[in-house]
Amino acid sequence: MAVASVAAALLAALGGALWLAARRLSGPRSQRQQGGGDPGLMHGKTVLITGANSGLGRATAAELLRLGARVIMGCRDRARAEEAAGQLRQELGQAGGAGPDATDGQLVVKELDLASLRSVRAFCQELLQEEPRLDVLINNAGVFHCPYMKTEDGFEMQFGVNHLGHFLLTNLLLGLLKSSAPSRIVVVSSKLYKYGEINFEDLNSEQSYNKSFCYSRSKLANILFTRELARRLEGTNVTVNVLHPGVVRTNLGRHIHIPLLARPLFNLVSWAFFKTPLEGAQTSIYLACSPDVEGVSGRYFGDCKEEELLPKAMDESVARKLWDISEVMVGILK
C-alpha cells in the first residue's frame, strides 16, 4: 500500500514536471523569445539603459545592440557591468552580428549609482561631455522589497532609486534629449503600482515602513512622473511612455527569502510561469524603437499594447505636486 502511494506521488510529480515543461516550451511565449526586426533599425542611435547588467535591462541592451544601436549601460557596479558587456558582445558575435571587435564602441559601460545624487550628477556631467546625442533613455533599474535602507542622501531606498534617482537623471539629460529630437524616454514601472499611494506626509517612510507598499508607491511615482513629463514636453518632439513588463524571471527577487528546501519548487514555478527576460523586455524594446509609437506620449503599455490606468495614476494634481517635491528633494529647484 505504502509503495503504491509513493509510486503514485512520484508519477504525479513527474507528470506535473512534464506538463510544466511542455507548457514552457510550446506556449505562445516561446515564439517571442528571439526578437525580429531590421538589424539596422537603430543604427546611428544612442540609447542609455539604467541597470543594463541584469534581467530586463540586459535583455533590452542585447536586443537594441542587435538592432545596431550604440548602447550605454548605466550600472552601479563596474565589474558586474563589464562582465555583462563582455557576454553581450560575445553573444552578438555568435548570433552572426558584427562580431566582438566590430561592436566595440557600440556598447559602453558607465558607472551610475541611482542611490547617490552625487553619482547621478557625475554620470550626467561625463555623458554630456562625451556624447553628442541621446536618442533613447530607458529608466529601467529598480530595487524591490529591500529591508529598510536609505540612499546616500537619506531617502527610503525604493523611492530613492526607482523614482528620485531617475527623476534627477532624466532632468539632467533633457537638454541633450531635446537637441537630439525626435527622441524617446521609456520608463519601466509595474502593475503593482495599483497598491501604492503617494503619501506626501511620509515620503521617506520614517513613520512606518512596509516594503510592498514602498515598492508600489515608487512604481506609481514612475507613472505620475511619466504623465507630468509628457505634459511638460508637449511640442518638443521628445516622447515619454511607461510600461509594465509582466512577471519576469530576473534577479529582482534577491531580497525575498525562500527557505533552502523550497527553492527548487520556486525555481520550477518561476521557470514555468514567469516570462524570460527577453520576453519581458519586449515592451521596453517596442517603446524604444517601434515606428508604431512615433509621437505617442504619456501612455501606459503592457505586452506592446496601450493599457488603461487607474484614476490615481492619472491624477494631474498629485503628479504636479510630486514633481515639485521631487525637484526640492533632488535639489534642482530653479
Ligand X SMILES: CC1=C(/C=C/C(C)=C/C=C/C(C)=C/C=O)C(C)(C)CCC1
Binding residues (CB under 6 A) for ligand X: these are: 144, 190, 192, 247, 249-250, 252-253, 256, 258, 266-267, 270
Determine contact, residues 153/160, Cβ cutoff 8 Å: yes
Instruction: State which residue, 89 or 275, has the beta carbon closest to ligand X.
Output: 275
Q: Of the two residues 152 and 316, which places its CB atom closer to ligand NDP in the complex?
A: 152
Strand 305-306's sheet: what is its strand order? 107-111, 70-75, 46-50, 136-139, 183-188, 238-244, 300-302, 305-306
Identify what 161 binds: ligand X, ligand NDP, none; CB under 5 to 8 Å per kind. Answer: ligand NDP
Instruction: Specify the residue, 106 or 250, whose C-beta has the smaller distance to ligand X.
Output: 250
Mapped onto helix, strand or coil, the DSSP state of residue 35 is: coil
| Nearer Cβ to ligand NDP (68/245) | 245
Candidates 168, 165, 296; CA nearest to 238 is: 296
115 binds ligand NDP (CB under 6 A): yes
Cβ atoms of 240 and 229 closer than 8 Å: yes
286 part of the active site = no
Catalytic residue among 148, 209, 215, 300: 215
Total residues interacting with ligand NDP, rule: CB under 6 A? 30
Count of CA atoms in the C-beta half-sphere (13 A) of 6: 3
For the CB of residue 280, give the shortest distance to ligand NDP in the complex, in Å: 6
Burial of 130 (0-12, 13-18, 19+ CB in 10 A): exposed
* CB of 11 or CB of 79, closer to ligand NDP: 79
One of 180, 190, 205, 282 touching ligand NDP (CB under 6 A): 190
- Binding residue for ligand NDP (CB under 6 A) from 185, 188, 203, 330? 188
In the complex, the smallest distance separating the C-beta of residue 51 from ligand NDP, rounded to whole angstroms, is 3
118 binds, among ligand X, ligand NDP, none (CB under 5 to 8 A by kind): none
What's the number of CA atoms in the CB half-sphere (13 Å) around residue 301?
26
Instruction: Name the one range near ligand NDP by CB under 6 A: 21-29, 70-78, 98-106, 306-314.
Output: 70-78
Give least dist CB 329 to ligand X, A: 23
Beta strands in the chain (DSSP E): 46-50, 70-75, 107-111, 136-139, 183-188, 238-244, 300-302, 305-306
Contact assessment for residue 72 and residue 49, using Cβ atoms and an 8 Å cutoff:
yes
Grid cell of 313 as nine digits:
495614476
Enumerate the active-site residues.
Answer: 215
